[in-house]
Amino acid sequence: MANSVKPAVAETPKPLATPASPSMSVIAPAIAWLIPGAGHLIQKRWIRGLLLMASITTMFILGLMMQGRVYLPNGGDILDILGFVGDVGAGGLYIVTRVQGWGHGAIAHATADYGTKFLIVAGLLNFISAADAYHIAIGKKP
Amino acid sequence: MTLELSHFSAAVLFSLFASVVFGITQRNTAREQLRYGMYCFVMFAGGVFVAGWVMWILRH
């Protein structure tokens, strides 16, 4: 009696989405870092891009309005270094802030420390957003 | 222009923006993103209340 067992076939995992062009995997995260949400917008994820742009930009601006401190490149205290890493994640927002000379912080305001945290977290959220734009570009995410 | 928010309103705004980004980036479909974003917001805001009560209990 013939055994009707089918031969095992190695299945390759299907990608969740169609990958974009290889250059997009470089351009998308780069532009996402420079302009929050833009990495999604250039891949036609309009709603996601606009929500990310609005959230990260608003958070950064609120941080500045609360007289938060923007960290400069430094090699001193570890928390200052990490603060700079967080801030620089905001990309273009950080560059504009430095060029304009904003974000010196004001210890006279009790909310200034909240503002400093808002600035750092906006940058860190933008790193996550850039990573997400990269995942969309390589087809790992729809 | 200086903005002076209370601790609570700053925490709620923080929760809102962080939850939007977490929802969009950590899930794939729109429905999952909405659900996860709301979950994160509730956990953030709930954490503020719990931490507030814990501090009140410790003080009294």
Is B24 contained in some domain?
yes
Q: Is residue A124 part of a domain?
A: yes
More confident residue, A109 or A22: A22
Is B16 inside a domain boundary? yes
Does residue A18 lie within any of the structural domains?
Answer: no
Q: Mind telling me how many Å the CA of A34 is from chain B's nearest CA?
A: 17
Mean local confidence (pLDDT), A124-142? 96
Q: Running DSSP on this structure, what letter comes out for residue A16?
A: S
Q: Is the model's pLDDT at A29 over the cut of 60?
A: yes
In a domain, A4, yes or no: no
Instruction: Kindly state the tokens that stand for A131.
Output: 């990573």
Q: What is the residue range of B43's domain?
A: 11-59
Q: What is the pLDDT of residue A13?
A: 59
pLDDT for B26 equals 97
- Partner-chain contact A62 B29, CB within 8 Å: no
Give yes or no for residue A8 having a pLDDT over 90. Answer: no
Residue A89 has pLDDT above 90, yes or no: yes
Q: CA-to-CA distance for B40 and B33, rounded, in angstroms?
A: 10
**CA–CA separation, A133 vs A124, rounded Å?**
14
Q: Which amino acid is at A107?
A: I
Give the helix ranges, DSSP H, for A3-142: 24-34, 38-41, 46-65, 78-88, 92-100, 112-137
A16 within domain boundaries: no
* Cβ–Cβ gap A121/B18 under 8 Å: yes
The answer to whether the CB atoms of B20 and A52 lie below 8 A apart is yes
Q: How far apart are CA A115 and CA A20, in angstroms?
A: 38
Q: What is the pLDDT of residue A21?
A: 80
| Chain B closest-CA separation from residue A78 CA (Å) | 24
The answer as to whether B3 is a domain residue is no
Flag whether B26 is in a domain: yes
Dihedral sign for Cα atoms in the order A89, A95, A96, A101: positive
- Classify residue B4: in a domain, yes or no: no
Q: What is the mean predicted confidence (pLDDT) over A2-15?
A: 57
Label residue A75 by pLDDT band (50, 70, 90).
confident
Between A9-18, A31-40, A63-72, B3-12, the lowest mean confidence (pLDDT) is in A9-18
Residue in A86, A118, A93 with CA at minimum distance from that of residue A36: A93
Within a domain: A6: no
In a domain, B5, yes or no: no
pLDDT score at A3: 53
Residues of A in contact with B17 (CB under 8 A): 55-56, 58-59, 122, 125
B17 forms beta bridges with: none
For residue A18, the model assigns a pLDDT of 74
Instruction: Give B-chain residues touching A63 at CB under 8 angstroms.
Output: none
Higher local confidence (pLDDT), A106 or A74: A74
Round the average pLDDT of chain A to a whole number and report it. Answer: 89
Give the total number of structural domains in chain B.
Answer: 1
- Which DSSP helix (H) or strand (E) runs through B52? helix B30-59
- The pLDDT of residue B32 is above 90: yes
- For residues B27-47, give the mean pLDDT: 97
Give yes or no for residue A51 having a pLDDT over 90: yes
A54 belongs to a structural domain = yes
Are B17 and A58 in contact (CB < 8 Å)? yes
Domain presence at residue A14:
no
Give the range of the structural domain holding residue A77, as residue numbers without chain letter.
24-137
What span, in angstroms and rounded, lies between the C-alpha atoms of A18 and A11?
18
Q: Say if A94 falls within a structural domain.
A: yes
Task: Kindly provide the ipTM of the predicted complex, given to two decimals.
Answer: 0.93
Distance (Å, whole) CA A115 – CA A65: 7
The total domain count for chain A is 1
